[in-house]
Structures are given as structure tokens and as C-alpha cells.
């Protein structure tokens, strides 16, 4: 690994590292916040998945999560949102290709060689973090928008790997909205049955675990009606008895101003599960 950034922050350190990903076949950046407690003890880890167009930088510079991570003694790991590099396939537009990995394992050419963000987040990155940092194997996961989709679906598919999950403004039913339909058609092909394995609403219906879901959604979000549709998640959870806390926050939009306003609640939620 190569250190890219090392900055003092709330008594701990905000670092950015670069490594070669065997899964993605490219160099990847990921951010790690080490709270002050990590000097003397191994700490649990909250994984944060960012949304469309983002890199590892958006969350660490805009959300203000380090303050709360330092308070609770939680490491925060924030990977990039897709493979990167000159040899990695890309597409026109912001919602497919680089910056738009959607946290799936692509099965279709030309994407299938590099776009394996599901395996990266679930397996390769935690193994790297737990081998190289003062991290325990107690994990939580959260994210925003496309990353909220990733957090929910990954946790629902792997309830034994995560102690808690939350999301801001998640794409809860990508199989039924334009962002998801475009990405899934490209990455997974036209078989909509295959899409269900990466759709939180569908996974709630079939999930054997009952990991509680915490979702914050702004009611002034410009994507609420067309891309996010949290009511579909509520309906699925009610019909299956899956525990869901869906907080509709009045006046808030899709931006990091929204995330910064409630990130303290989410870090506290995860810390209680991770250290409980």
C-alpha cells in the first residue's frame, strides 16, 4: 500500500491509501479515519459507500463524520465508488462506468473484468483493512444514494458479516428506476431475475436475516419520486416483518448538507451495535 494523505483530525488521523486491487485489476484509493482510541486498542469499523460521481474524498471532506467517530472509537473506511484507470471501461454520462460501480459484480462485457465492486467491498477491502490497521472484525456499513443501495443490499445478502446497516437517500428499488435500469442492463444483462439479487426491496422479501434497517430520507430530495421511492422499501418491510426505521426529514435535499446534519445519529447507531 502507498500512503496518499495523512492529516490530524479530532485527535486521530484521516488517511488515504492506494493499493492494487486483485479483484478490480486496477489501483484503488480508500480513506481510513483512525480515531484516537486506535493508538491503544483495536477498533470496530464502519464502511461508508458513496454515491454517483463520488470518490473517497466526498465523504471525508464534507460529512463531518470524524468528530463522531473519535467520540465513539470507530474506524471509518470509505472506498472509491468504482474501478479507475486508463484501461478500465467507461461510458458517457455520470450514471454508468467510472464513478458509478453500483456495488455489483458485473457479468457482461466489457464491464465484467473490472467492475466487481461487490466482491471488493465484501471481501477484499475488509481483509486488507483488518490485516493492516488496528481494526477488529466487527463491521457496520452505511452509504448515500447509490452507496445507500450498496449498503442495504450488501448487508441484506451478508447479515452475518455486519452488525448494523444504515443509509441516506438510498436507491431502494434499482430494478424499477432509471438509474438502476441503465446500470443493471449494462452490468448484469437483460435478465431481470438476476437484478433481484442487488435490489433491496426484493432482498427484504427473501432475506433470512432480520438486520434492522435505518434510513434517512429528505422530503425535498430532487430524486425522491423518480429514483429513490422509499415507500417501496417501507411496503416490503411491512409485508415481511423486516425491522425498518425510515425517517423522512422535512426540508432536506440529496446533498451532503443533509448527510452532515444526521451523520452523528448514524455513527452513534453503528457504535452501539459495534461496541454493544
Kindly give the confidence (pLDDT) of every residue in the chain, 276 residues in length, as a single tens digit, with 9 standing for 90 and above.
999 999 999 999 999 999 999 999 999 999 999 999 999 999 999 999 999 999 999 999 999 999 999 999 999 999 999 999 999 999 999 999 999 999 999 999 999 999 999 999 999 999 999 999 999 999 999 999 999 999 999 999 999 999 999 999 999 999 999 999 999 999 999 999 999 999 999 999 887 778 999 999 999 999 999 999 999 999 999 999 999 999 999 999 999 999 999 999 999 999 999 987
Q: For the chain, state the CA radius of gyration.
A: 17
Is 21 annotated as catalytic? no
Q: Name the E strands within 144-202.
A: 164-168
Domain boundaries, position 114? 2-275
Nearest by Cα to 34 from 127, 131, 133:
133
Of 15, 95, 216, 221, the active-site residue reads 221
Of 21, 145, 164, 166, the active-site residue reads 145
Residue 243: give its domain's CATH number. Answer: 3.40.50.1820
Relative to beta strand 75-79, strand 26-34 is antiparallel
**Does pTM top 0.95 for this prediction?**
yes
Is 216 annotated as catalytic? no
Is 254 annotated as catalytic? yes
How many separate domains does the chain show? Answer: 1
Of 72, 198, 254, 269, the active-site residue reads 254
Nearest by Cα to 151 from 83, 198, 206, 82:
198
Amino acid at each position: 500500500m502507498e500512503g496518499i494523505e495523512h492529516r490530524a483530525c479530532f485527535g486521530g488521523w484521516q488517511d488515504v491509501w492506494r493499493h492494487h486491487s486483485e479483484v478490480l485489476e486496477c489501483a484503488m484509493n480508500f480513506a481510513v479515519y483512525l480515531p484516537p482510541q486506535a493508538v491503544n486498542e483495536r477498533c470496530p469499523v464502519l464502511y461508508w459507500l458513496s454515491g454517483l460521481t463520488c470518490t473517497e474524498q466526498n465523504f471525508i471532506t464534507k460529512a463531518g463524520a470524524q468528530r463522531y467517530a473519535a467520540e465513539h472509537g470507530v474506524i471509518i473506511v470509505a472506498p472509491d465508488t468504482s474501478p479507475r484507470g486508463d484501461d478500465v471501461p467507461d461510458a458517457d454520462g455520470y450514471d454508468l462506468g467510472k464513478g458509478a460501480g453500483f456495488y455489483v459484480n458485473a457479468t457482461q462485457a466489457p464491464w465484467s473484468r473490472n467492475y466487481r465492486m461487490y466482491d471488493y467491498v465484501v471481501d477484499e477491502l475488509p481483509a486488507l483493512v483488518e490485516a493492516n490497521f488496528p481494526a477488529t472484525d466487527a463491521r457496520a456499513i452505511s452509504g448515500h444514494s447509490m452507496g445507500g443501495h450498496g449498503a442495504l443490499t450488501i448487508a441484506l445478502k451478508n447479515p452475518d458479516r455486519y452488525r448494523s446497516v444504515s443509509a441516506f437517500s438510498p436507491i431502494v428499488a434499482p430494478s424499477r428506476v432509471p438509474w438502476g435500469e441503465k446500470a443493471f442492463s449494462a452490468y448484469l444483462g437483460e435478465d431481470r431475475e438476476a437484478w433481484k439479487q442487488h435490489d433491496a426491496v426484493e432482498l427484504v422479501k427473501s432475506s433470512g436475516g432480520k438486520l434492522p434497517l435505518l434510513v434517512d430520507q429528505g422530503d425535498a430530495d430532487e430524486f425522491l419520486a423518480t429514483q429513490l421511492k422509499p415507500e417501496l422499501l417501507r411496503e416490503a418491510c411491512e409485508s415481511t416483518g423486516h425491522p425498518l426505521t425510515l425517517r423522512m426529514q422535512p426540508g432536506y435535499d440529496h446533498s451532503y448538507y443533509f448527510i452532515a446534519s444526521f451523520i452523528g445519529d448514524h455513527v452513534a447507531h453503528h457504535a452501539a451495535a459495534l461496541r454493544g
